[in-house]
Amino acid sequence: MKYINQEQVQSKMNRRLVKNNIFKTLFALATMFGIVVLAILIIRVLTQGLAWIDMDFITGKLSTSADRAGIMGAILGTLWLMIVVIPVTLILGVATAIYLELYAPKGKFQAIIQTNIANLAGVPSIVYGLLGLTVFVRAMDLGNVVLAGGLTLSLLVLPIVIVASQEAIRAVPQHLSEASFGMGATKWQTVKNIVLPASLPGILTGSILALSRAIGETAPLTVIGIPALLIPFPGGIFDTFTIMPMQIYYWTIDSSLVSEYANLAAATIVVLLVMLFILNSIAVIIRNKFQQRY
Amino acid sequence: MSLKTASKPIFTNYTEETFPNKNVVYDTKDLNLWYGETHALKDINLSIYEKEVTAIIGPSGCGKSTYIKTLNRMVELVPTVRTTGSITYNGMSILDKKFKVEDLRTRVGMVFQKPNPFPKSIYDNVAYGPKIHGIRNKKILDEIVEKSLRGASIWEEVKDRLKENAYGLSGGQQQRLCIARCLAIEPDVILMDEPTSALDPKSTLRIEELVQELKKDYSIIIVTHNMQQAARISDRTAFFLNGEVVEFDQTDTIFTKPADSRTEDYISGRFG
Ligand SMILES: Nc1ncnc2c1ncn2[C@@H]1O[C@H](COP(=O)(O)OP(=O)(O)O)[C@@H](O)[C@H]1O
Ligand SMILES: [Mg+2]
């Protein structure tokens, strides 16, 4: 006796296939929605801004006159910011991840820290701005300089770097570190020679993605009070600075006064997007190049 | 062997009087071990003799791996582990918390169930141990690498591709590379936890021949759930069941006239 009746199967076949197609279309539409919106955005920005991008725009100083305005100051501001953010987040983030994954006793203490890091990753960025304003700008009396902004952004992306590094470290197969311990290696020797090299691609990928988040952040720096005025180019971490997203913000607001400012904002967006695109490509290249097989 | 004295810390309390019976490498007395609440080893008493192959057999989950991992204290990587009783290695109490595990593991190498080479070149895999223990001289490292690869009878197969990644080797070759890596720290004892269970019959045979070769210079403790393997390659066999040693004797005796009926049941394939 058979349980599956061929006739019944046949009679339901069409309905099943139709349903299958409906869902396929639904999922495809959902994907299309995102792609179309993104495409519209990019096309609009490109058509509006591309014509304004030339060497003078990239290397020029800020100016109230739309024809002469350049964004070198903002680009340098972003670069100086990165010079603070990269070492601070990498050193603190990776060290924290190593400690939590490999040294901290597994228990309540570790669980509490872990939960807090996860929560910190969800705190709105403007709150970090307030923290930065209170601690770095005022209490430490740094003023609204690169260092203060960089430390603030570091705090902001630190949870992301920690979590990404932890995941990368956890993905290193246990049997590799066992082999190392089995030969009498200390924990530090094992971390340095086996765990870190194997998790480096993951750590770097996560860190670069976190950095590109930091580059695009505006809210915390607004709170810190960085200017978008005609300031001189920043030459070090103790100089005041401005950044591209900030420039975009002010130019957009002021476009009601000078309509060309909207085009400058679009042009700046293009430059910013190109920078982010390059960073993300580097992340992908690193991931593919250094990925190891276990 | 001169490298060994130069590069390793020497146990200072080693004298002839401390252990008149030099033939015993490991002496286990009333060893109990818990993983949290799980009582995994119960009153183990076992002696491991020098330059012999000691096989540990028994059904899955009976504590074979746990026991062999207490011999180099790898079992401590599980944080919930608790032990009572004592194990002496060459007369030294190794379960003593003051005893340095790094020191122990330099003298006791381990080969794991699944071949686990590092994602590095063949050369770097073998040179890893010596480097860890402070050898930097390129010529000495070259010598150790060649000697160890020869010792693990894989030299001929890899001598022209030492710089290639170890993952390009077959499973059996990887396991012999892991044995070479272990020989490179110049241990006295080699612990092997089911070293052939992930390998095909031909590679298994090569490892078994290698074990025969190695016992001339090393004391070997091998966990296996393949009874033919235990019968073929070991001098002494311990039969574990539910965390206890049911019987420990010359391999011949275990397989021809076991004293305990449970041993007989197991080796005749009635359970396991
Ligand atoms: N890391 C661990 N945590 C808790 N229990 C474990 C752990 N490893 C092994 N055990 C338990 O200890 C017992 C012995 O395991 P094991 O030594 O791996 O046996 P075998 O190697 O003989 O198959 C089993 O009951 C197993 O469930
Ligand atoms: Mg086992």
Q: Which tens digits make up the pLDDT trace of A49-61?
A: 888 888 888 888 8
Residue A293: list chain B partners with CB under 8 A: 119, 167
How many residues are given for chain A? 294
- Is A179 within the bounds of a domain? yes
- Is A280 within the bounds of a domain? yes
Cβ-based neighbours of A235, under 8 Å, separated by 6 or more: none
Residue A181: list chain B partners with CB under 8 A: 74, 77, 105
Residues B111 and B127: their CA atoms lie apart, in Å, by 16
Mean of pLDDT values over A139-156? 91
pLDDT greater than 70 at residue B11: no
Q: What is the pLDDT of residue B211?
A: 95
Domain count, chain A: 2
Confidence of residue B9 (pLDDT cuts 50, 70, 90): very low
Residue B101: list chain A partners with CB under 8 A: 184
Q: Tell me: do A185 and A112 sit in the same domain.
A: yes
- Is A257 within the bounds of a domain? yes
- Is A112 within the bounds of a domain? yes
Bigger pLDDT: A145 vs B191: B191
Hey, which of B31, B34, B38, B78 would you mutate to test ligand 1's pocket, going by the most ligand atoms within 8 Å of its Cβ?
B38
CA distances from B51 to A90, A247, B103 (A): 50, 76, 20
Size of interface A-B (CB pairs under 8 A): 64
Confidence of residue B271 (pLDDT cuts 50, 70, 90): low
Whose atoms come closest to the Cα of B57: which ligand? 1
User: Which residue, by CA, sits nearest to atom 21 of ligand 1?
Assistant: B65
Q: What is the pLDDT of residue A260?
A: 87
pLDDT greater than 80 at residue B16: no
Residue B119: list chain A partners with CB under 8 A: 176, 197-198, 292-294
At CB < 8 A and 24+ separation, what contacts does B76-82 make? B76/B101, B77/A178, B77/A181, B78/B35, B79/A105, B79/A106, B80/B34, B80/B35, B80/B36, B81/B33, B81/B34, B81/B35, B82/B33, B82/B34
Pick among A101, A181, A183, A187 to test the B interface (most B CBs inside 10 A): A183
Nearest CB to B105 within list A182, A193, A194: A182
Tokens of A127: 């709150």
Residue A176: list chain B partners with CB under 8 A: 116, 118-119
Query: Residue A145, SS3?
Result: strand
Q: Tell me: do A104 and A48 sit in the same domain.
A: no
B77/A contact by beta carbon, under 8 A? yes
Q: What is the DSSP string of chain B?
A: -HHHHHHSPPPTT--TTT-S-TTEEEEEEEEEEEETTEEEEEEEEEEEETT-EEEEE-STTSSHHHHHHHTTTGGGGSTTEEEEEEEEETTEETTSTTS-HHHHHHHEEEE-SS----SSBHHHHHHHHHHHTT---HHHHHHHHHHHHHHTT-HHHHTT-TTSBGGGS-HHHHHHHHHHHHHTT--SEEEEESTTTTS-HHHHHHHHHHHHHHTTTSEEEEE-S-HHHHHHH-SEEEEEETTEEEEEEEHHHHHHS-SSHHHHHHHTTS--
- Is A101 within the bounds of a domain? yes
Q: What is the pLDDT of residue A292?
A: 61
For chain A positions 155-194, those within 8 Å of chain B (CB to CB) are 173, 175-176, 178-186, 189, 193-194
Q: Tell me: do A44 and A61 sit in the same domain.
A: no
Closest residue in B to A293 (Cα–Cα): B119
Pick among B11, B76, B105 to test the A interface (most A CBs inside 10 A): B105
Query: Residue A240, SS3?
Result: strand
Residues B166 and B147: their CA atoms lie apart, in Å, by 18
Residues B206 and B176: their CA atoms lie apart, in Å, by 9
Residue span of the structural domain in which A267 resides: 57-290
A293/B contact by beta carbon, under 8 A? yes
Q: Tell me: do A18 and A110 sit in the same domain.
A: no
What is the bridge-based pairing of β-strands B38-49 and B92-93?
Answer: unpaired
B72/A contact by beta carbon, under 8 A? yes
Phi-psi region of B224 (alpha: psi -120 to 50; beta: other; left: phi over 0): beta
Q: What is the pLDDT of residue A229?
A: 66
Residue A102: list chain B partners with CB under 8 A: none
- Is A152 within the bounds of a domain? yes
Beta carbons of A194 and A178 less than 8 angstroms apart: no
Closest residue in A to B124 (Cα–Cα): A193
For chain A positions 87-106, those within 8 Å of chain B (CB to CB) are 105-106
Q: Tell me: do A112 and A128 sit in the same domain.
A: yes
Cβ-based neighbours of A246, under 8 Å, separated by 6 or more: A74, A218, A221, A222, A226, A228
Q: Tell me: do A146 and A31 sit in the same domain.
A: no
Which atom from ligand 1 is nearest to the alpha carbon of B223?
21
- Is A162 within the bounds of a domain? yes
Q: What is the pLDDT of residue B17?
A: 39
pLDDT greater than 50 at residue A17: yes
- Check B79 against A105: CB less than 8 A apart: yes
Residues A217 and A246: their CA atoms lie apart, in Å, by 9
Q: What is the pLDDT of residue B1?
A: 39
Q: Tell me: do A153 and A242 sit in the same domain.
A: yes
A291/B contact by beta carbon, under 8 A? no
Tokens of A122: 């969800």
Q: Complex ipTM, two decimals?
A: 0.87
Burial of B83 (0-12, 13-18, 19+ CB in 10 A): middle
Q: What is the pLDDT of residue A293?
A: 56
* Report field, pTM of the whole predicted structure over 0.90: no
pLDDT tens digits for range B142-175: 999 999 999 999 999 999 999 999 999 999 999 9
Q: Tell me: do A15 and A137 sit in the same domain.
A: no
- The DSSP secondary-structure symbol of A52 reads G
CA distances from A245 to A221, A260, B11, B13, B171 (A): 10, 17, 65, 69, 54
Q: Tell me: do A194 and A256 sit in the same domain.
A: yes
Confidence of residue B20 (pLDDT cuts 50, 70, 90): very low
Bigger pLDDT: A286 vs B131: B131
Q: For every residue of A257-290, which 3-state class applies, written as one string?
A: CCCHHHHHHHHHHHHHHHHHHHHHHHHHHHHHHH
Confidence of residue A121 (pLDDT cuts 50, 70, 90): confident
B8/A contact by beta carbon, under 8 A? no
Residues B66 and B264: their CA atoms lie apart, in Å, by 23
Q: Distance (Å) from the C-alpha of residue A202 to the closest C-alpha of chain B?
A: 15
What is the bridge-based pairing of β-strands B24-35 and B81-89?
Answer: antiparallel
Beta carbons of B20 and B84 less than 8 angstroms apart: no
What is the bridge-based pairing of β-strands B108-111 and B189-193?
Answer: parallel
Q: Tell me: do A61 and A187 sit in the same domain.
A: yes
Residues B245 and B248: their CA atoms lie apart, in Å, by 7
Beta carbons of A222 and A282 less than 8 angstroms apart: no
- Is A1 within the bounds of a domain? no
Mean of pLDDT values over A24-41? 95
Q: Tell me: do A134 and A16 sit in the same domain.
A: no
Q: Tell me: do A31 and A133 sit in the same domain.
A: no
CATH of the domain at A148: 1.10.3720.10
Place of tokens 């989950």: B61
Residues B11 and B91: their CA atoms lie apart, in Å, by 11
Q: Distance (Å) from the C-alpha of residue A183 to the closest C-alpha of chain B?
A: 5
